[in-house]
Copies of this chain bind each other. A is one copy, B any other.
Amino acid sequence: MNLKQLSESLGLSQTTVSRALNGYPEVSEATRKRVQDAAHRHNYRPNTRARSLATGRAHMIGHVIPISTRHEMMNPVFSDFIAGAGEAYAKAGYDMTLSIVPDDAEDATYRSLAQKKTVDGIVIHGPRANERRIKLLQDLDLPFVVHGRASAEDSDYSWVDVNNRRAFSRATELLLDLGHRRIALVNGLEDMDFAIRRRQGYEKALRERGLAADPALGASDEMTEHYGYDTARRMLAGHTPPTAFLVSSLISAIGVRRALEEADLKMGRDVSVITHDDELSYLGNGKDVPIFTATRSSVREAGRIAANTLLELIEDPARTPRHHLLEAELMLGRSTGPAPQES
């Protein structure tokens, strides 16, 4: 059933039916009612393609997920972010498309999205410090918001991000307060912006106590469970093993825990661990008392905020960029304790 058929069946013009359905005032309440009933009865819904061709609005948001060609890794954080964003879109009557893009084919994808007019706006995931995509989208004149930031970019753009620097400096300070001096940083890939900021936070806290980061206690890679395990194992076997680990993801922290157990070290007593926790729905960090002491910030909530920000931007393209800096909570759990006495 399409508009034409519907209007014929009602003995009205397409114009009137369209107006009645879209809430325009130039149609009498009686007619509107009659039209709505018929539409509902026939389960009529306007064809999106025709509608967006006519209005110029696709009612569609694109999410572009770079997939590292090296590891074929999907960022696990992404699914919860999407869940939050999807919720916001549904409320606003928008749909969402996903482009999984190998990071060497990015430019083409964006240009094509813009040219093909499939979407009204874009969410950028996983920004690197030096992020070409921002400039590109500005040139293409397509509204967008970044989940995260790009330190090296100095133009103004909309973003939603966690205060990674502050979160990690606070976590480091806590470990220092507990007497730890050899603190390992098990970080994400350090071409990623968030990882750089976390390192900065970590180093700042150390520096303020007159300490320098020991390069042997720093690691950086894709945040898998296995990476956490390997790294912890290697560092613990070194000749100045750390007494504490600061980990960039709960998944890697689980790997660190595995390494500790294997080495018969008790987490929270022999070795302390703090991790960042994105509050992924399937990976809860304990119920009453958290397993891991953690800097916590809901990525799902970030998704919701990013979506709404983008929708506003589309509504009013003249609007100046918006920024949302989310503060991470520092949740005390059972994985931290005073540094063991040197013996």
Q: How far is the CA of A230 from the CA of B289 in the complex (A)?
A: 14
Beta-carbon contacts of A39-71 to B below 8 Å, as 1s and 0s? Answer: 000011111111011000010100000010001
Contact B282 A74 (CB under 8 A): yes
Give the residues in chain B near A281, CB-CB below 8 Å.
Answer: 71-74, 224
Considering only residues 95-119 of chain A, those with a C-beta below 8 Å from chain B are: 95-100, 111-112, 115-118
Number of copies: 2
Q: How far is the CA of A225 from the CA of B287 in the complex (A)?
A: 11
Contact B115 A45 (CB under 8 A): yes
Known: A60-B97, A76-B76, A287-B226. A49 touches B52 (CB 8 A): yes
User: What's the tally of chain A residues with a CB closer than 8 Å to chain B?
Assistant: 57
**Residue A251 interfacial (CB < 8 Å):** yes
Q: Closest CB of chain B to A83's CB: distance in Å?
A: 5
**Residue A90 interfacial (CB < 8 Å):** yes
**Residue A291 interfacial (CB < 8 Å):** yes
Beta-carbon contacts of A279-308 to B below 8 Å, as 1s and 0s? Answer: 011111011000100000000000000000
Contact A224 B282 (CB under 8 A): yes
Q: How far is the CA of A86 from the CA of B102 in the complex (A)?
A: 11
Q: Which of B72, B99, B117, B223 contacts A48 (CB 8 A)?
A: B117
Contact B100 A98 (CB under 8 A): no
Contact A225 B283 (CB under 8 A): yes
Please indicate which of the listed interface residues A44, A98, A257 has the most CB atoms of chain B within 10 Å of its own CB. Answer: A98
Contact B76 A115 (CB under 8 A): no
Q: Closest CB of chain B to A188's CB: distance in Å?
A: 11
Give the residues in chain B near A222, CB-CB below 8 Å.
Answer: 282
Q: How far is the CA of A78 from the CA of B116 in the complex (A)?
A: 27
Contact B115 A86 (CB under 8 A): no
Known: A118-B95, A225-B283. A111 touches B76 (CB 8 A): no
Known: A48-B117, A73-B282. A100 touches B95 (CB 8 A): no
Contact A48 B83 (CB under 8 A): no
Contact B87 A79 (CB under 8 A): no
Give the residues in chain B near A282, CB-CB below 8 Å.
Answer: 73-76, 222-225, 251
Q: How far is the CA of A109 from the CA of B258 in the complex (A)?
A: 43
Give the residues in chain B near A226, CB-CB below 8 Å.
Answer: 284, 286-287
Give the residues in chain B near A52, CB-CB below 8 Å.
Answer: 49
A binding-site residues for B, Cβ under 8 Å: 43-50, 52-53, 58, 60, 67, 71-76, 78-80, 82-83, 86-87, 90, 95-100, 111-112, 115-118, 222-226, 251, 254, 257-258, 261, 280-284, 286-287, 291
18 CB < 8 A contacts A-B: A44-B115, A45-B111, A46-B116, A48-B117, A49-B58, A49-B117, A49-B118, A73-B282, A74-B83, A74-B281, A76-B76, A76-B283, A82-B98, A87-B100, A95-B99, A222-B282, A223-B282, A251-B283
